[in-house]
Amino acid sequence: MAFSSIQKETPVIFNLIIINVLMYIAQLLIHPFDVTQWGALHYYKSSLFKPHQLITCMFLHDPGSFAHILFNMFALWMFGSILEKFLGSKKFLIFYLICGVGASILIQLTIPFSADQYAKTAPELLQGYSFADIAAAYKENYSMIGASGAIMGVMAAFAYLFPNTALYVFFIPIPVKAKYVIPVFILIDLFGGLYQFKGDNIGHFAHLGGALIGILLIMYWNKTNRKTMY
């Protein structure tokens, strides 16, 4: 689909993609000011935390991985375009931002748990650092970026509103209904958040926060409009 068509039919999706791409370029090119550090979400008790990060983090991506923004923007277009047409542009934008902020808030609530999980097996233990010091350092330096939390909210709403839509998933040769695919993604994030593996830098709790807010919000908005579902 041409960009002009996306701009006309789903202007919020178009502008969200443009903003994310421009911010990604800024992350790569603007120096010495560190756009990533400025906008990434830090723990609210960290000296690096600023309130704007609850929102700005959802417009930034890993500057060292083009795949991060590529897959996020593809998912945003794939699921968000249908949702924007269904909700209307203004309501969709409100929905998207609420899901993103919801993801940021859940991250804040779960950072202490993640810090403890990391400290249990941290290599710094072998260097003589205490569990408490490692956990404290984790909380001070933690940062999170990416649109995935808000996008997971979009995907959860999509699965609720259009449960029987057939989706093609990598490595699965047959289409699978949205009501099966997206809950599996959510379960994977739940497992990944509770049992954090070494080297896993995915914001699983951000995904879960976005999905939770997304499904609750769309259920509330749609509770008197069930006839439109299929």
**Domain residue extents for the chain:** 3-228
What distance in Å separates the CA atoms of residue 97 and residue 91, rounded to the nearest whole number? 10
Q: Per residue in 137-175, pLDDT tens?
A: 999 999 999 999 999 999 999 999 988 887 776 666 677
Does residue 32 have a cis peptide bond before it, meaning omega lies within 30 degrees of 0?
yes
In CATH, the architecture of 3-228 is Up-down Bundle (1.20)
| Cα–Cα distance for residue pair 208/212, rounded to 1 Å | 6
If you average pLDDT over residues 169-188, what whole number do you get? Answer: 77
Position 137 scores a pLDDT of: 94
The model carries a pTM of 0.88
| pLDDT tens for each residue of 60-76 | 999 998 999 999 999 99
Q: Tell me the two tokens of residue 18.
A: 């443009």
Report CA torsion sign: 77, 71, 180, 214: negative
Phi and psi, residue 177, nearest 5°: -65, 145
Tell me the helix, strand and coil percentages in the chain, rounded to 5.
70, 5, 25
